[in-house]
Structure 1
């Protein structure tokens, strides 16, 4: 199929003091099912843009492939979904059946293509764009978070599709999804970019082994740092002793030359040992450069007493454009409780959340009808 090569590729945004990518040299085969992973802000989406030459960079990008990015950009979401899909996919009335076929596989009613794109749920919008991805056999695909807003059935459909495809790059934070579909991992680390053969679990195992080694490395650095500090102190004391001996009176009957020579030897030896310790620390810290530092997760919320009601809803019914979306809903949520909101794409999960966010901040809500 071809290859993709980075040769000393360097890129940074104008407001960055350090390059996001610094002289990256990589090569990978276009037949690989490649999972692109890395923490938020590391440059996963940026890397996909660089592959499409959407951003300026230094170095070389060598490939014979044509790329297609998912999700595609919808510039006029008020248009009918069918018209948008035809424009994005370069389709006409005689070829649109391919999209309808994929929509059935994605468990989406084909008739909703006659609705404005903006009126679809986020999950339905994702599935519409995925249908275009599934019928494209001519591009190497750069797939950015394809499982966003998808229900479990939809995620499995996407996984089944990608398992059958010859090669792609996919970005996802869903580990289970990645384990099903990839055979190589491209990891953007703190200090470099590495390629690993295997799925996400294979990479995770290697990463955990590295973490254990890093813990040992921390101990070694701490020990070497202490040694360097001790040697520096010995050097200082030797120099101090040499100066003190030089001001002794003759009545002390000391051999000043011997004291000076011995102090100099001790100081030189201590300084050499201290320098070696510093060099060892520097070498080990270079090995330590990719260690991830996890910031604590905090939630800014007012203190609540155990058992205190956070939300109470009685006979809540949602309506949208005159259509009733749910049976009357009653619930009480107490401090410390966790509730999962589930349902197929288009069932109204996001609509319910938006309606609850729009409600007044009261402890008890009784409503027979809400219009989000």
Structure 2
């Protein structure tokens, strides 16, 4: 039974068609992954399904009484949430219906009406809907999504943007609507929170539609896939791996069919010319009719998708030099801040300014050509470790040393950092003196083509910003690459391009990532940051 149906849904932005005659339905218990390249219209489709936007043509039908919740990529929290005294209270408000029932039960009890049938019915409904376990579920959800006991007593307004998005997700988990729409829910989750969310979504009885580029997450949570491609929606059965296999098979079959069709057309044209030259008019007309029928079929191969093509050599010329055997080494390293972390928060009353230790690393070493993943919970110190190795932060104690001939390339996680230059092309030319033609040719490898290079940097999407950061990283040669969440905001095609590039690169790579498929493909071993300690882990 369908709980939501889209019929002929079309959405346009000026002359651009984003969604074209989408016909699809969601049934009770469906767990659907929504995939497609950046800019394909996934967020637009979710917003139309949620009723936040209206289609230009077509209509959306929802089951009477359907409860629906949506998590946007960046949370836009309502006033009630932000006005709550603490995070726990704000998340608990997700179960507002249970809170109203509890208030009514308390009112009936205060009035001595506990023997009335209405009280018994209300109490039964409260119990069935989990009212008596609400507080335990709130605490378990906050803990599962990576909030510490100190976090849950903070007011929501004091949270960072990523923390607010996680808090919005926690509130949706507690609300438990009939249909849950999630737009890139894994962006701000560490590995522990990812696994908790996967388990929750698998056990959940309600319907789910999740747009995500996290392949491992989709494999763990969905049983059907909707692919948004060239403005149309195609349905597949199975998880992401099954979808990918089916898509490759369909594309290969379509290419073979198109090739065969073109060969038949060419053959019929050849026969028409042959019979015309031999003045065999009857045969000529027979093959002209066949040719007309074949051309009317218009069998087309799937359009080649724009793919990220990372250059093998730096824009400044040449590849990196060969480094020493030991590329980077840390001995008795202590990482942290010389003062309070620069998060904009006011220091607590009575707090003493001084070094803030984040983690200790007794011994770390990376050999030439090793690819090492840096993993651990949010806030454990992964970025601090990478910034210390990059020289952006001084060590509090101990030291970091480098082998001979090391050339560092550093991709920071903070995509909001200022990039010089008003446009994408300006940002490149500001860092290296190249002609506009050379700059355009280089940026085309990162999918900035034509007028894309004239886009203002401040208006770039998250995926476009990540691609620009990668382009700027490749300007100069590097044999030690420090990458902090390099796949953030990138679609699957771009992630696979980065994986292929890094797998073939001779550089030593230290990478912070929560993308498990990326880590499994690239990394040979790990540095684990947890409980204020950094330790190597082989395997």
Per the alignment, residue 233 of structure 2 pairs with 193
Per the alignment, residue 70 of structure 1 pairs with 71
The CA distance in 1 between the partners of 2:147 and 2:274, in whole Å, is: 76
Per the alignment, residue 307 of structure 1 pairs with 323
Instruction: Indicate conservation of the 8 Å contact 1:317/1:329, yes or no.
Output: no
1:325 aligns with 2:324: no
The CA distance in 1 between the partners of 2:60 and 2:188, in whole Å, is: 33
Q: Per-residue deviation at 1:63?
A: 0.5
Q: Per-residue deviation at 1:352?
A: 4.0
Instruction: Indicate conservation of the 8 Å contact 1:185/1:199, yes or no.
Output: yes
The CA distance in 1 between the partners of 2:370 and 2:161, in whole Å, is: 27
Per the alignment, residue 6 of structure 1 pairs with 6
The CA distance in 1 between the partners of 2:176 and 2:288, in whole Å, is: 66
1:298 aligns with 2:310: yes
2:293 to 258, 261, 276: 276
Structure 1 pair 126–60 and aligned structure 2 pair: CA distance change class (3 A):
closer
Instruction: Indicate conservation of the 8 Å contact 2:84/2:90, yes or no.
Output: no
Unpaired runs of at least 5, structure 1: 242-261, 360-364
Normalising by the residue count of structure 2, what TM-score does the alignment of the two structures yield? 0.52
The CA distance in 2 between the partners of 1:228 and 1:7, in whole Å, is: 41
2:48 to 47, 50, 56: 50
Q: Per-residue deviation at 1:132?
A: 1.6
Query: What is the CA deviation profile of residues 151-179 of structure 1, one whole-angstrom value per residue up to 9, with x for unaligned ones?
Result: 33222111110111121211222333223
Query: What is the CA deviation profile of residues 108-158 of structure 1, one whole-angstrom value per residue up to 9, with x for unaligned ones?
Result: 322223447687688755543332222112452111222224233222111
Q: Per-residue deviation at 1:186?
A: 2.1
Per the alignment, residue 514 of structure 2 pairs with none
Q: Per-residue deviation at 1:62?
A: 0.7
Alignment RMSD (CA, Å)? 4.0
The CA distance in 2 between the partners of 1:22 and 1:107, in whole Å, is: 39
Normalising by the residue count of structure 1, what TM-score does the alignment of the two structures yield? 0.72
Q: Per-residue deviation at 1:293?
A: 2.9
Per the alignment, residue 402 of structure 2 pairs with none
The CA distance in 1 between the partners of 2:69 and 2:245, in whole Å, is: 32
Structure 1 pair 347–121 and aligned structure 2 pair: CA distance change class (3 A):
farther
1:346 to 362, 379, 389: 379
Structure 1 pair 119–233 and aligned structure 2 pair: CA distance change class (3 A):
farther
Structure 1 pair 339–149 and aligned structure 2 pair: CA distance change class (3 A):
farther
The CA distance in 1 between the partners of 2:150 and 2:379, in whole Å, is: 13
Instruction: Indicate conservation of the 8 Å contact 1:306/1:336, yes or no.
Output: no
Q: Per-residue deviation at 1:83?
A: 3.8
Q: Per-residue deviation at 1:23?
A: 1.5
Per the alignment, residue 146 of structure 1 pairs with 185
1:35 to 33, 36, 43: 33
Q: Per-residue deviation at 1:6?
A: 1.0
SS for the counterpart of 1:347 is coil
The CA distance in 2 between the partners of 1:191 and 1:206, in whole Å, is: 19
Instruction: Indicate conservation of the 8 Å contact 1:80/1:114, yes or no.
Output: no
Aligned length: 334
Query: What is the CA deviation profile of residues 296-323 of structure 1, one whole-angstrom value per residue up to 9, with x for unaligned ones?
Result: 4315745212337997576462214342
SS for the counterpart of 2:17 is coil
Matches within 5 A, 1:1-372: 3-14=3-14, 17-57=15-55, 58-64=57-63, 65-71=66-72, 72-74=75-77, 83=86, 86-87=89-90, 90=93, 98-106=137-145, 108-115=147-154, 127-138=166-177, 140-166=179-205, 167-190=207-230, 192-231=232-271, 233-234=273-274, 238=277, 262=279, 264-265=281-282, 267-280=284-297, 282=298, 284-285=299-300, 288-289=301-302, 293=305, 295-299=307-311, 301=314, 303-307=319-323, 312=328, 315=333, 317-319=335-337, 320-321=340-341, 322-327=355-360, 336-353=369-386, 359=392, 367-368=395-396
Per the alignment, residue 481 of structure 2 pairs with none
Q: Per-residue deviation at 1:337?
A: 4.1
Structure 1 pair 309–125 and aligned structure 2 pair: CA distance change class (3 A):
farther
Structure 1 pair 310–222 and aligned structure 2 pair: CA distance change class (3 A):
farther
Answer with 1 or 2: which has the greater Rg: 1
